[in-house]
């Protein structure tokens, strides 16, 4: 299955598509020193979140999908140089609203929770 959304997403910032199937997606983000916030190599959580968000968007896989709420928790740190895998799987649809369970991990889980997506009729930037 091909990506119908977020087609211009930058592999180096939010990850590359590993797998997409109906209601499920997996994304890989290779972290590096540019993502670190200190001399110990701690990766900023925004990169982890962005990777999980990208997996959620691809699980829905509609051109207009957007994130409107997230309930996630960071469970472990990521060190620059580690590879993050993020998975999103649809757990519930209610009209235009879609709940996606997300998990991001290296050799351990680093983020988990639910992302709430919305699929509007038109692109959110259209008037």
- Would residue 91 count as lying in a domain? yes
Our count of domains for the chain comes to 1
pTM for the full model? 0.95
- Would residue 34 count as lying in a domain? yes
Structural domain including 63 reads 11-118
14 or 1, higher pLDDT: 14
- In angstroms, the CA 33 to CA 35 distance is 5
- Would residue 71 count as lying in a domain? yes
Which residues face 111 on adjacent strands?
A: 74, 104
Q: What are phi and psi of 60, to 5 degrees?
A: -75, -45
- Would residue 33 count as lying in a domain? yes
Write the CATH number for 53: 3.10.129.10
Per-residue pLDDT tens for 18-62? 999 999 999 999 999 999 999 999 999 999 999 999 999 999 999
């Amino acid at each position: 299955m091909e990506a119908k959304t977020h087609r211009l997403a930058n592999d180096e910032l939010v990850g590359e598509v590993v797998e997409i199937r109906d209601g499920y997606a997996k994304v890989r983000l290779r972290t590096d020193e540019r993502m670190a916030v200190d001399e110990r190599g701690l990766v900023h959580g925004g990169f982890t979140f962005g990777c999980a968000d990208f997996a959620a968007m691809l699980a829905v896989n509609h051109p207009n999908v957007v994130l409107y709420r997230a309930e996630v928790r960071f469970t472990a740190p990521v060190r620059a140089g580690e590879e993050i895998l993020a998975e999103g799987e649809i757990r519930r649809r209610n009209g235009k609203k879609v709940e996606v369970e997300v998990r991001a991990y290296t050799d351990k889980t680093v983020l988990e929770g639910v992302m709430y997506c919305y699929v509007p009729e038109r692109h959110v930037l259209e008037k």
